[in-house]
Amino acid sequence: MTTPMDTHSHNRETDTLARTIFGEARGETVRGKEAVAAVIINRVKRAQRRGHYWWGSTPEGVCKRAWQFSCWNENDPNRSKIIQVTDSNKMFQTCLRVAHRAINGTLKDPTFGATHYHVKGTFPPWARGHAPRIEIGRHLFYVGIE
């Protein structure tokens, strides 16, 4: 039996990425989950190309950077869900499989390089003046946001 935040079957980076996918896209199709994972990996890749970037340079660093993925915000109702979910949850198992592929470099990027996304119907300030590259599920994905 696994306990919340138990990482015995996977490493910390994969666990954090899976929890972020669970918090941000658990109601999405597998492709929607893959898209969220791709955004995180695209941020990691950009940071590695530059040697450093403000949003972090590892999957865990990117996921937990303040105010980047709302499920990790202290006041977000999803935070307790992502902390408490265990490997026995089937939806989380899917998120873990997507996270493993993303970390291992075998996930095809359905976002075409996006580093940002938001839920349709919301209008974050950073998206002003930018057209989304692609719509996947309930999210719009953007390339070229600094």
Q: Write the DSSP assignment of 48-59 as a string of letters.
A: HHHS--TT-SSH
* pLDDT reading at 141 higher than 70: yes
Percent of residues, the chain, with pLDDT higher than 90: 81
Amino acid at 98: V
* pLDDT reading at 1 higher than 50: no
Q: What is the pTM of this model?
A: 0.89
Q: Find where tokens 């390339």 sit.
A: 143
Q: Note the pLDDT of residue 56.
A: 78
* pLDDT reading at 130 higher than 90: yes
Q: Note the pLDDT of residue 54.
A: 66
Structural domain spans, the chain: 12-110
32-53: average pLDDT: 89
* pLDDT reading at 106 higher than 70: yes
Phi and psi for 53 in degrees, rounded to 5? -150, 155
pLDDT band of residue 8 (cuts 50, 70, 90) is very low
- Per the CB < 8 A criterion, the answer to whether 70 and 76 are in contact is yes
77-92: average pLDDT: 95
Span 12-110 CATH architecture: Orthogonal Bundle (1.10)
Q: Note the pLDDT of residue 52.
A: 65
* pLDDT reading at 77 higher than 70: yes
Distance, in Å, from the CA atom of 2 to the CA atom of 6, rounded to the nearest integer, reads 6
Mean pLDDT of all residues in the chain?
90
Distance, in Å, from the CA atom of 67 to the CA atom of 74, rounded to the nearest integer, reads 10
8-29: average pLDDT: 91
Distance, in Å, from the CA atom of 54 to the CA atom of 65, rounded to the nearest integer, reads 9
